Amino acid sequence: MAIKIQKIIGEHGLQAVQCINGGCPAAILTDNGDIIVQGYILTVEERASLGQPAGEDYVRMPRHTFEKIAAQL
């Protein structure tokens, strides 16, 4: 099933499109109400130390960026 983006919220507010070639973490709101987090991929060592459950993963986002995005949700 394709994901339909309703809104993209970055550190500086609404974004018209997803970031493709830069470091701009964002919260992506989908048509079914889910939120997808765009962030930086962890290293293999970082992922191994966190021990994520099967079928899940992690991304990194600076705290100040998260706080700015969360305030806009």
Cβ contacts of 40 within 8 Å, gap of 6 or more: 23, 25, 59, 60, 61
The stretch 11-31 carries a mean pLDDT of 79
In tens, the pLDDT along 31-67 reads: 999 998 888 889 999 988 998 888 988 888 889 988 9
What's the helix, strand, coil split of the chain in %, to 5? 20, 30, 50
Domain that holds residue 32: 5-70
* More confident of the two residues 59 and 20: 59
Residue 21 has a pLDDT of 65
- Provide the number of structural domains found in the chain: 1
In whole angstroms, give the CA distance from residue 29 to residue 15.
12
Residue 50 has a pLDDT of 92
Residue 22 has a pLDDT of 64
In whole angstroms, give the CA distance from residue 26 to residue 16.
12
